[in-house]
Structure 1
Amino acid sequence: MAKGTSSHWVTGVSEISAEEIYIRGYAMSDLVGLVPFPGIAYLLIRGDLPTPGQARMMDVILSSILDYGLQKSGTVAARAVVSVNPVMTAGLGAGVLAAGEHALSPEDTGRFISETFAHWKASGKTMDQAADELVGELRAAKRRVPGFGHQVFRYVDPRSAKLKKLAQEQHVWGEANEWYEAVHRAFQKASDKPELVLNDVGMLASIMVQMGFTPSEMCGLAITSTLPGLIAHISEELQSGVRNRMVPDSHTEYETARRELGPALRKAGW
């Protein structure tokens, strides 16, 4: 049966032969020790060897979300799970599943940037004109712009400023970043909120769009970035000796009222 039919898996990611392991066609024995982990990660996901600047920016991306705080839902989920199933893989699975639209993942922001950037490129309009029109449409529809705003920072998010500086230094800054910043300026102007920042998740997403990553790949990279912190929390929980973590009554509010079963059964037709 020919390759490419429904009966075959087809992959260009890696190959294991009798004499060597190949990553995107390159011998692993050649890569290891010569190309750093972020560079090999880029190669695996994007399919091509990165430039030194792209590899450096991958290192920045993978270092930007490292802290996985105890207050985060994914950390709580991981620690609760290993308190009853004390193995690392169970905790990692729980923590990874907690990444999504409302926590950790830049996927939603990346999708917004990718789609609106492509629409602007096809429109023939100037960047600022298209950004003003887009913001007008979003505000009329009462839609939020992902990646804007922070509960503490005003005017400038220092994390975003650092990411932009590094991206420019490594020559991975481009039109996608400029477009997203134009949308940010247009939103500040239209909402009369000059203090509204472009936050670190937004900046990371715009850089990853510029580097060619898909929104779903961005989610995977964000999760990869958090794994060391998640491993540390799981290890700490495993060593604590605490079994079966439960939500304490001091953190629980009960809304149920006591009811009699007999009358309820008769009313339901039993």
Structure 2
Amino acid sequence: MTTDVRKSWTTSVSDVEDADVFIRGYSLGDIIGNMSFAAATYLLIRGKLPTPGQTKMIDAVLCSVLDYSLKKPGTVAARYCVSGNPSMVAGLATAMLSAGEYTLAPDSAGTFIRNTYDTHRKPGASIDECAEAAVDEIRQTKMRVGGFGHPNFKYLDPRAQKLKTIAVEAGVWGDVCDWYEAVHRAFIKRVTKPEMAINEVGMMAAILTEMSFTPDEMTGLALLSTFPGVVAHISEELQSKTRIRTLPDDIVDYARERKELNRDMAAAGWTA
């Protein structure tokens, strides 16, 4: 008599045996020393070995964020966190939870690129005419465009342009990337903001979409890129021995109205 036991978990990412660990079927012992971190990252996420060009691109992506001083909310939040709870793990978790809609995460840009490309890019048609039609719809529906604009960089974001240069050299630049740039050209023309650059998160999203990464995977890579900087900031904060950071009063506008509790409670219907 046999019993049908259904597996509750299925994974092809890795497997552990008594004497070895296998990553996507490859011995970890063989990977160590023979593959770069960027190549191993691609293997783990995409499930196949990368080409040298793909590896070069992922290495560039992993170096594209690194750190943004104390202008990144996650870094500041992490340092505040460990001033109260001196723990590397707590600080890292805090920094990761601060990434999202308005900073660091390229998933919204990746989703935007994929959706507009699939909807508006017509084979054989002018890419700029298709992009202009897409921008018209974007403006009508007030859709948020991920990856456009930066508080410091105007006209060109040097980080984004370096990613593009490497993508072209590595052979991973393609029609999807051209599409994103065409949408950008049409958008800044429509809104009359030529200074609005494609930022590094937007360029990252375009290139990773071309490389078939999902939006969620893109965000994972962006977070991985920022990890070294966060580790460095948390370490610096821990070594400073600063305890319980607070905001100085001169940068906070406190409401100074004072109220009478007993009077207001009586007015609200409370009895003594």
| TM-score interval for Structure 1 and Structure 2 normalised by the shorter chain | over 0.9
Residue 60 (structure 1) aligned with residue 60 (structure 2): yes
Aligned partner letter, 1:70: L
What's the secondary structure of 1:83's corresponding residue? helix
Question: Following the alignment from structure 1 to structure 2, what is the Cα–Cα distance between the partners of residues 230 and 68?
Answer: 10
Q: 1:215 to 1:248 in 2, by over 3 A?
A: same
Show the counterpart of 2:114.
114
Question: Following the alignment from structure 2 to structure 1, what is the Cα–Cα distance between the partners of residues 185 and 81?
Answer: 44
Show the counterpart of 1:249.
249
Deviation at 1:196, TM superposition (A): 3.0
Equivalent runs, 1:90-129 vs 2, <5 Å: 90-121=90-121, 126-129=126-129
Question: Following the alignment from structure 1 to structure 2, what is the Cα–Cα distance between the partners of residues 112 and 218?
Answer: 13
TM-score by length of 2: 0.92
What's the secondary structure of 1:70's corresponding residue? helix
Matched residue count: 268
Question: Following the alignment from structure 1 to structure 2, what is the Cα–Cα distance between the partners of residues 244 and 35?
Answer: 42
- For residues 23-65 of structure 1, the C-alpha deviation after alignment (integer angstroms, 9 at most, x for no partner) is 0111111111111000000111111110011011000000000
Q: 1:128 to 1:62 in 2, by over 3 A?
A: same
Aligned partner letter, 1:51: T
Matched-pair identity in % = 50
Aligned partner letter, 1:172: V
What's the secondary structure of 1:101's corresponding residue? coil
Deviation at 1:184, TM superposition (A): 1.3
Asked if structure 2 preserves the Cα contact closer than 8 Å seen for 1:120 and 1:127, the reply is no
Please list every run of 5 or more consecutive structure 2 residues that lacks an aligned counterpart in the other structure: none
Q: Which moved more, 1:145-154 or 1:70-79?
A: 145-154
Question: Following the alignment from structure 1 to structure 2, what is the Cα–Cα distance between the partners of residues 150 and 27?
Answer: 43
Aligned partner letter, 2:170: Q
Deviation at 1:128, TM superposition (A): 2.6
Show the counterpart of 1:237.
237
Question: Following the alignment from structure 1 to structure 2, what is the Cα–Cα distance between the partners of residues 111 and 126?
Answer: 22
Show the counterpart of 2:18.
18
What's the secondary structure of 2:71's corresponding residue? coil
Deviation at 1:122, TM superposition (A): 7.0
TM-score by length of 1: 0.92
Runs of 4+ displaced beyond 6 Å: none
What's the secondary structure of 1:155's corresponding residue? coil
Deviation at 1:107, TM superposition (A): 1.4
Aligned partner letter, 1:232: A
Asked if structure 2 preserves the Cα contact closer than 8 Å seen for 1:68 and 1:230, the reply is no
Deviation at 1:68, TM superposition (A): 3.9
Question: Following the alignment from structure 2 to structure 1, what is the Cα–Cα distance between the partners of residues 68 and 198?
Answer: 22
Deviation at 1:113, TM superposition (A): 0.6
Question: Following the alignment from structure 1 to structure 2, what is the Cα–Cα distance between the partners of residues 238 and 82?
Answer: 7
Asked if structure 1 preserves the Cα contact closer than 8 Å seen for 2:121 and 2:130, the reply is no
Show the counterpart of 2:203.
203
Equivalent runs, 1:85-234 vs 2, <5 Å: 85-121=85-121, 126-234=126-234
Aligned partner letter, 1:128: D
Aligned partner letter, 2:264: A
Aligned partner letter, 1:223: L
Deviation at 1:264, TM superposition (A): 1.1
Aligned partner letter, 1:219: T
Aligned partner letter, 2:182: A
What's the secondary structure of 2:70's corresponding residue? coil
Q: 1:2 to 1:125 in 2, by over 3 A?
A: farther
Aligned partner letter, 1:249: D
Q: 1:48 to 1:232 in 2, by over 3 A?
A: same
